[in-house]
Amino acid sequence: MIVHLARKELRQHRLLVGVNLGLFGSFLLLVILGESTQSRRGSPLELLFPVAIWIGVLAVVFSNALFTSELRQRTREFLDGLPVMRWQLLSIKLGLLLTMIWALALVSYGVLTYFQLRREPADLAFLAIVLCRVMVFSTFCCLLSAVACIAGRFQIPLYLAIFELLVVLVERYGLAGRDTIPFSLVLEEIAYERLPPVSALIQTSVATGALSVVFFVAVSVKDGIVPVVLASRMSHAEKVLVAGSLVAAIFVLFLWHERKPKEPYRLTSKRDSRVLERSAGGVAIRASMPSGLSDEQETLDRLHSEVLDLKTALDISLVPPIFVIHNSSLDSKRFEHGLLSQREGVIVRANLNLEGEAAGSSLGSEELEAYLISRTIIESSRRRLELESRRWVVDGLAQVWIDRNQGLGCLTDTRKERMLRRAVYARSKLGVVRLSEWLQVREALGSDLADALAGSVLWSLCSHAGRESSERFVKAMLAMDEPRDFRALWTGRGRTAEALLPINSGMSLERLLELWRSDLDEASLRIGEELSRIPKLEGGFEVHRDSAQSSRVLYRFRVHPPSERFALFSTVYASVSVFGSEIEPDDLLRDDHELGAAIEGELPRSFVPGSRVFAAIQRYVPELQCEVREAATRIDL
């Protein structure tokens, strides 16, 4: 009887079974070819994860072929005149489903184990553990898909409910894939874990047993009348009810996730560090300070006062907590920013343990304060002020914020001189400066010169239009009252310098840039000759194609005039997308080299044709007291 049933089912669903087995066989063939040519690194048993996922999908497909039509047509579709109950027929079909899925799992396991043994020997106990994990996972998939099939028209809502349950568990308890059954049985770690996952095996086996009980109870009560009734197609009212319940569940889940109290991110004191904290007025700053430094609480209080004044000046409703973390691997005046989920804080990493001339990243340094101001403004706006049209105002305000009590244009002589030096040098390198293409300016010059260039524009605005006008313009440009829904598509269009500058200062953007260029020309007459003596780099990057699959990026520069003051230079590079997106500073790779009269070399990695690479040279210039980026380019391979 079982043989006749198997033949009948294969005849009835031969096209569906053949197509799916063909696809699965093609996948195994690709695996065999890849392992035979040794073109894939790692253990072959790592591929059991995609194989197991594919087997789970096949279990769903075969279950629908075996059960759904039988229940929906309300007939046994078996040998005429044979007195077989429906639950017996469905039980035999379940056995047929298990046989097919187990056969696929065993074949896949055998193929991958063969290639594993070709690479290195493995003990039988480990291979038995792997086999047990694969078979338990396959059995669970079969029973779950069978139970879903007897749910009839509620099959898809059942799968969606399981998915939502997994999402809730992950969000509520932070469960990762390795903690969630049954996926924890077949993750890539299956190729390396020598100990049996007893807990996961027991839990999955118990869940499989529970599903089998549900299946046999449902198909045996009154000869399976429950699954037969459920197999009928949904009415319009049921479709509306299921869709409405699903949307309501997603909405409630979203609101619950947004409204639930989140445990704030905290810094903890360790043996070699201590945590300082200042919280008042809606602004909280926490700093992880290395042990051995003098008390920095007064410096932290002053930094808190600066951010509190910024919150008041820009009418920021909510300033995320600020965390300053010591990182001894960073150089002076070099910072990193980290991200917290749901924008729960601003993380800035700096080397707070430097002293003397290298103390450009200490807690009280102007450079760290400017960087904190910039990141706080951006994160408080939910990163909307990071967009190109208003980013230059953020960068400029961070440079002049320290002297705000005297007005944006009333910088101290030291800071004014340093900013003008950098701005004059940056303009001489860049030529035409377009504020509407500010991200390209930052990419070409580096952050130090670009920040000075933006600060000099605000300095010129305050010098010619007055303190109140410049402050109104900055506040209007950095307004954070934009809606957080689709209305932002049209409310944010008017937040441009071309539109807001005439309203708040009575001066057009073209007129401001004309006055700004005049101010830089005046400063250039005084310091231009000194800046012209800074050695320049002449040369560029070029692509050398090694083969059809690999290319190298070479660079060749000459220092003119030769100078012994520049001992080091750095190559910075990154793989970028084909679209013109901004390159995050943390994505840049950096290599330091000794500087000579000629600079020749290659980037320390190869690239595939069709990719895009950003590359540039960076060096520290003592006259400007900052790093200068030169020869920045995007190379299409």
- Of 29, 20, 90, 26, the closest CA to residue 55 belongs to 20
pLDDT computed for residue 518 by the predictor = 92
In this structure, the answer to whether residues 527 and 590 fall within a common structural domain is no
In this structure, the answer to whether residues 354 and 495 fall within a common structural domain is no
pLDDT computed for residue 336 by the predictor = 83
Q: Which residue carries 């409910």 as its tokens?
A: 161
The mean per-residue pLDDT over the stretch 576-604 comes to 77
Cα within 13 Å of Cα(123), Cβ side = 7
Q: How far from chain centre, in Å, is Cα 494?
A: 30
Last residue of a domain, one of 240, 259, 278: 259
Residue 447, pLDDT > 70, answer: yes
Query: Which helix (H) or strand (E) is 91 found in, with range?
Result: helix 86-119
As given in the structure block, the two tokens for residue 475 are 């506040």
CATH code at position 301: 3.40.30
Side chain identity, residue 454: A
Is there a domain that residue 386 lies in?
no
Is there a domain that residue 621 lies in?
yes
Tell how many helices (H) and how many strands (E) occur in the chain. Answer: 20, 12
More confident residue, 244 or 16: 244
Last residue of a domain, one of 233, 259, 285: 259
Q: What is the pTM of this model?
A: 0.60
As given in the structure block, the two tokens for residue 231 are 């197999």
As given in the structure block, the two tokens for residue 326 are 């010591």
Burial environment of residue 600 by CB neighbours within 10 A (0 to 12, 13 to 18, 19 or more): exposed
pLDDT computed for residue 80 by the predictor = 42
In this structure, the answer to whether residues 524 and 540 fall within a common structural domain is no
d(CA 536, CA 513) in angstroms, rounded, equals 27
Give every CB contact of residue 281 below 8 A, 6+ residues apart in sequence: 308, 311
Q: What is the DSSP string of 600-617?
A: EEE-SS-B-TT-EEEEEE
Q: Per-residue pLDDT tens for 313-351? A: 888 888 888 888 888 878 777 888 877 765 578 888 888
Q: What is the DSSP string of 24-57?
A: HHHHHHHHHHHHHTT-S-S-GGGGHHHHHHHHHH
- Of 69, 73, 97, the closest CA to residue 2 belongs to 97
As given in the structure block, the two tokens for residue 188 are 């890539």
In this structure, the answer to whether residues 223 and 367 fall within a common structural domain is no
Q: Per-residue pLDDT tens for 114-173? A: 888 877 777 788 888 888 988 998 999 888 888 888 777 777 777 777 777 766 666 555
In this structure, the answer to whether residues 110 and 249 fall within a common structural domain is yes
As given in the structure block, the two tokens for residue 557 are 């520069």
Using alpha carbons, list the distances in angstroms from residue 597 to 394, 569, 600, 621. Answer: 38, 12, 10, 16
- Of 419, 503, 405, 422, the closest CA to residue 458 belongs to 419
pLDDT computed for residue 79 by the predictor = 40
Contact 614, 523 (CB under 8 A): no
The mean per-residue pLDDT over the stretch 590-595 comes to 79
What is the band of 108 on the pLDDT scale with cuts at 50, 70, 90? Answer: confident
Is there a domain that residue 388 lies in?
no
Domain that holds residue 303: 266-380
Backbone angles phi, psi at 196, to 5 degrees: -70, 135
Q: What is the DSSP string of 227-253?
A: HHHHTSPPPHHHHHHHHHHHHHHHHHH
Using alpha carbons, list the distances in angstroms from residue 142 to 145, 214, 404. Answer: 5, 13, 69
pLDDT computed for residue 78 by the predictor = 43
Residue 626, pLDDT > 80, answer: yes
In this structure, the answer to whether residues 543 and 526 fall within a common structural domain is no
The mean per-residue pLDDT over the stretch 246-259 comes to 73
Query: Which helix (H) or strand (E) is 72 found in, with range?
Result: helix 69-72
What is the band of 515 on the pLDDT scale with cuts at 50, 70, 90? Answer: very high
In this structure, the answer to whether residues 281 and 342 fall within a common structural domain is yes
Is there a domain that residue 385 lies in?
no
Contact 478, 452 (CB under 8 A): no
Number of domains making up the chain:
4
- Of 95, 177, 182, 176, the closest CA to residue 138 belongs to 182
Q: Per-residue pLDDT tens for 527-536? A: 888 888 888 8
Lowest mean per-residue pLDDT among 145-149, 479-483, 535-539? 479-483
**Crossing angle of helices 198-220 and 86-119, rounded to 10°:** 160
Q: Which residue carries 């308890």 as its tokens?
A: 173
d(CA 397, CA 451) in angstroms, rounded, equals 9
Q: What is the DSSP string of 392-443?
A: HHHHHHHHHGGGGGG-TT---HHHHHHHHHHHHHHHHHH-S--GGGHHHHHH
More confident residue, 194 or 557: 557
As given in the structure block, the two tokens for residue 457 are 């524009």
Contact 92, 70 (CB under 8 A): no
In this structure, the answer to whether residues 66 and 203 fall within a common structural domain is yes
Any bridge partners for residue 275, and if so which? 288
- Of 23, 44, 22, 42, the closest CA to residue 33 belongs to 44
Is there a domain that residue 508 lies in?
yes
Secondary structure class of 533 (helix, strand, coil): coil
In this structure, the answer to whether residues 51 and 112 fall within a common structural domain is yes
Secondary structure class of 161 (helix, strand, coil): helix
Is there a domain that residue 393 lies in?
no
Q: Are strands 283-290 and 273-280 parallel, antiparallel or unpaired?
A: antiparallel
In this structure, the answer to whether residues 567 and 524 fall within a common structural domain is no
d(CA 505, CA 493) in angstroms, rounded, equals 20
pLDDT computed for residue 511 by the predictor = 92
Last residue of a domain, one of 532, 567, 598: 532
In this structure, the answer to whether residues 239 and 178 fall within a common structural domain is yes
As given in the structure block, the two tokens for residue 478 are 């950095």
Q: Which residue carries 């990493």 as its tokens?
A: 349
What is the band of 76 on the pLDDT scale with cuts at 50, 70, 90? Answer: very low
- Of 51, 64, 47, the closest CA to residue 24 belongs to 51
Other CB atoms closer than 10 Å to residue 460's CB: what's the count?
A: 22
**Crossing angle of helices 2-12 and 14-36, rounded to 10°:** 90
CATH code at position 622: 2.60.40.10
Residue 466, pLDDT > 50, answer: yes
d(CA 125, CA 491) in angstroms, rounded, equals 65
In this structure, the answer to whether residues 544 and 509 fall within a common structural domain is no
Mean pLDDT across the chain: 78
Is there a domain that residue 394 lies in?
no
pLDDT computed for residue 233 by the predictor = 67
Is there a domain that residue 112 lies in?
yes
d(CA 553, CA 541) in angstroms, rounded, equals 7
